[in-house]
Amino acid sequence: MSAGGYLPPPAPMEPVAPPQPGLVPDNWSIPTLSEDVAREAFKDYASSHCCYSKSPVNDGVITNMEPFNTFRYRLETFTESRQTEPAEKPFEGEEADFYTQPAPRPWEVQVTPPNLFTNHKEEIRVPYTSSIKVIVCVRVCVCVCVCVSRTNNVEDYVVEQNSGLKVDLHKVSGKELFKNNQNLLYPLIGFPNPAISEASERLIKDHQSKYAETSRILQQRQTVELIPITKVNYKWKGNSHLYFVYGNEQQVNADNYPATCCCVVQ
């Protein structure tokens, strides 16, 4: 066993192409946003801004609503890395077990089963590495510990949509269409939107090559969501304006809100 440092993981397994699950759910559509829901979301948006007049919400007339739903692909690669570190602690009557029998190699040390896709760190004493030494007349127990780090590495890809909405769609949720997990994933095949299939192939290949060099990949999970986006056109005081309602949270984006005033904070 080394005195300390990074420990390369065992050779990774090869991903096996499983039978592709059905990638066409019975209903991929998101229910069309009603005018009442769109107006209520707009009202909440205006109320959250102290300098926004409520007149566009109360007096504006919705003229058109158009969906621009898009897809988000998410890949999670849950990894474990191990590093040895020498450790000392006060002597509490332990018996030195150094050399009583061969110590397990770091990747053979038993650890608690992982809570998948959750970050966690722990330090584990390696059996049969303990010795007792005296430091300034004080006895201490010395051993080589293994630091185990489990990390969920997450990466998203959102298919570009041409609605004109310029916000970070990574921060909202959508309708889950597909999810699967394996020790090592195989890319999605035949997804109706080719950009999702391409993203799946690219990200899985990148994660498996990048993380397998320094960690053991314990599990991978891929998810596809349909993110609702509705472009709402309305008229107020004879002029045309628009806003967007997006995500399951029905967030609103209205960059050019037509009735603002100057707020003075006392």
Whether 34 is in a domain gets the answer no
Of 109, 136, 151, the residue that ends a domain is 151
At 118, list the tokens. Answer: 């959750």
Q: Residue 141 is which amino acid? A: C
Q: What is the per-residue pLDDT for 266?
A: 45
Tell me, yes or no, whether 68 and 82 share the same domain.
Answer: no
Tell me, yes or no, whether 179 and 216 share the same domain.
Answer: yes
Structurally, the chain folds into a number of domains equal to 2
Q: What is the per-residue pLDDT for 31?
A: 72
- Residue 66 near residue 228 (C-beta atoms within 8 A): no
- Measured from the Cβ of residue 230, the count of other Cβ atoms closer than 10 Å reads 23
Tell me, yes or no, whether 175 and 119 share the same domain.
Answer: no
Tell me, yes or no, whether 159 and 242 share the same domain.
Answer: yes
Tell me, yes or no, whether 158 and 231 share the same domain.
Answer: yes
Please list, in sequence order, all residues whose beta carbon lies within 8 angstroms of the beta carbon of residue 138, skipping any fewer than 6 positions away. Answer: 90, 91
Q: Which CA distances in Å does 201 have to 22, 75, 104, 179, 191?
A: 18, 11, 37, 15, 11
Tell me, yes or no, whether 176 and 138 share the same domain.
Answer: no
Whether 27 is in a domain gets the answer no
Tell me, yes or no, whether 182 and 233 share the same domain.
Answer: yes
Of 132, 151, 170, the residue that ends a domain is 151
Tell me, yes or no, whether 68 and 173 share the same domain.
Answer: yes
Cα 50 to Cα 52: distance, rounded to the nearest angstrom: 6
Of 104, 122, 151, the residue that ends a domain is 151
Tell me, yes or no, whether 166 and 213 share the same domain.
Answer: yes
- Local confidence pLDDT in tens for the 266 residues of the chain: 444 555 667 666 666 565 555 555 555 667 789 999 999 999 999 999 888 999 999 999 999 999 999 999 999 999 999 998 888 777 777 778 877 888 888 899 999 888 999 999 999 988 888 888 887 787 787 888 899 999 999 999 999 988 999 999 988 999 999 999 999 999 998 888 999 999 999 999 999 999 988 899 999 999 999 999 999 999 999 999 999 999 999 999 998 899 887 554 44
Please list, in sequence order, all residues whose beta carbon lies within 8 angstroms of the beta carbon of residue 103, skipping any fewer than 6 positions away. Answer: 1, 126, 127, 128, 129, 144
Cα 41 to Cα 25: distance, rounded to the nearest angstrom: 29
Please give the residue range of the domain that contains residue 143: 78-151
Tell me, yes or no, whether 198 and 224 share the same domain.
Answer: yes
Please list, in sequence order, all residues whose beta carbon lies within 8 angstroms of the beta carbon of residue 15, skipping any fewer than 6 positions away. Answer: 182, 184, 185, 186, 204, 208
Q: What is the per-residue pLDDT for 35?
A: 95
| Nearest by Cα to 222 from 149, 151, 153, 150 | 153
Tell me, yes or no, whether 140 and 213 share the same domain.
Answer: no
Whether 249 is in a domain gets the answer yes
Strand partners, 222: 75, 180
Cα 213 to Cα 47: distance, rounded to the nearest angstrom: 51
Cα 257 to Cα 174: distance, rounded to the nearest angstrom: 26
Tell me, yes or no, whether 66 and 184 share the same domain.
Answer: yes
At 56, list the tokens. Answer: 């566009």
